[in-house]
Amino acid sequence: MEYHNPVLRKETVDGLNICPDGVYVDVTFGGGGHSREILSRLGKNGKLFAFDQDTDALHNTIDDDRFVLINENFRFIKRFLRFHGVKEVDGILADLGVSSHQFDVAERGFSTRFDAELDMRMDQNGSLSAFHVVNEYTEEALSKVFFQYGELKNARALANAIITARTEKKIKNSEQLKHVLARFLPAHKSNKILAQIYQAIRIEVNQEIDVLKEFLEQSLEILKPNGRLSVISYHSLEDRLVKRFMKNGLFDGEPERDFFGNFNVPFQTIGKLIVPSDAEIAINNRARSAKLRIAAKK
């Protein structure tokens, strides 16, 4: 099964500051590129747990006694690590968003390049699909999805066009959806706007923002003191959450101050924001919007 090279492979794993006998977690296993890099730096007593809710990823499992692949959403990281007898770890890696494989398999419905049924489920056993969002959500709910997750200023008009069209017949595939929204897709910007629309629906289908928040909060509980968190995000909504949490340990507001008036924060950020080189982007187009942030638990 073809998976592409992981984005920022070396930089992301460098950020974990690997201890050869440590315990690490790759919460977005995918094709296993980051996991293989971590394993290459572990000694015989090291351990790596990986998560992926997509059953396609199971085909890439690694035959290594130090490795365990867990076929679950990483929002359950604490629960399933406990199941394996692990209460704390030395580092956690997350490469957020959709894998190249998911984009490239037409029938998964993630890509604007293909005519496919409206699906977009990362967990293929999930009950909520893009078809349900497009055909069952109210105008208010659809508008909110487009505005919050696609950052589309004309969210209300987009939602209204969908509601009007689906009263005549269900919108079943990507070509029908593009046809319904054609007047909002001027030739010079159609790809960008479609990408925002698809992103919004995909985030809603997979509850990506809620999942990310739950994961970040649990990572703080699971990491040992000085344990590292290394996270790649691909759009501003994710990156803002990661940046705020690493800076303040919160998603909103300001952290509490101690007796001396200093902010009480649980993480220390490591280095500056890292983005891929032009050379990496030339090889792997998916890397173009990647942002890597690294933090250590105090």
Identify the CATH number of the domain in which residue 215 sits.
Answer: 3.40.50.150
Could you list the residue range(s) of the whole structural domain that residue 117 is in?
106-206
Long-range (24+ apart) CB contacts under 8 A made by 52-59 are 52/28, 53/122, 53/123, 54/30, 54/99, 54/102, 54/122, 54/123, 54/124, 55/124, 55/125, 56/1, 56/101, 56/102, 56/105, 56/124, 57/29, 57/30, 57/31, 57/32, 57/99, 59/1
Residues 85 and 222 in one domain: yes
Residues 217 and 292 in one domain: yes
Residues 54 and 131 in one domain: no
Residues 171 and 23 in one domain: no
pTM: 0.91
Dump pLDDT digits (tens) for 134-173.
999 999 999 999 999 999 999 999 999 999 999 999 999 9
Residues 117 and 197 in one domain: yes
* pLDDT category of residue 2 using cuts at 50, 70 and 90: very low
2 occurs within a structural domain: no
> At which of 189, 206, 223 does a domain end?
206
50 occurs within a structural domain: yes
Domain total for the chain? Answer: 2
d(CA 35, CA 43): 14
Residues 126 and 262 in one domain: no
1 occurs within a structural domain: no
Residues 80 and 132 in one domain: no
Read off the CATH number of the domain in which 129 is found. Answer: 1.10.150.170
* pLDDT category of residue 253 using cuts at 50, 70 and 90: confident
Residues 260 and 199 in one domain: no
Strand order across the beta sheet in which 291-297 lies: 67-70, 47-51, 23-26, 89-95, 223-233, 291-297, 267-269
Mean of pLDDT values over 71-87: 97
* pLDDT category of residue 1 using cuts at 50, 70 and 90: very low
Dump pLDDT digits (tens) for 224-245.
999 999 999 999 999 999 999 9
Q: Which residues contact 156 (CB under 8 A, 6 or more apart)?
A: 139, 143, 147
Q: Which residues contact 20 (CB under 8 A, 6 or more apart)?
A: 41, 42, 43, 45, 46
Residues 184 and 217 in one domain: no
Residues 233 and 176 in one domain: no
285 or 72: whose pLDDT is higher?
Answer: 72
Q: What is the reported pLDDT for 251?
A: 94
3 occurs within a structural domain: no
> At which of 147, 178, 206 does a domain end?
206
93 or 116: whose pLDDT is higher?
Answer: 93
Distance of alpha carbon 125 from the chain centroid = 18
> At which of 152, 183, 206 does a domain end?
206
Residues 21 and 158 in one domain: no
4 occurs within a structural domain: no
Residues 20 and 74 in one domain: yes
Instruction: Flag the least confident range among 56-60, 122-126, 258-262, 282-286.
Output: 258-262
Show the DSSP H helices in the chain as ranges: 9-14, 33-41, 77-83, 100-104, 130-136, 139-150, 155-166, 174-180, 190-206, 208-222, 236-248, 278-283
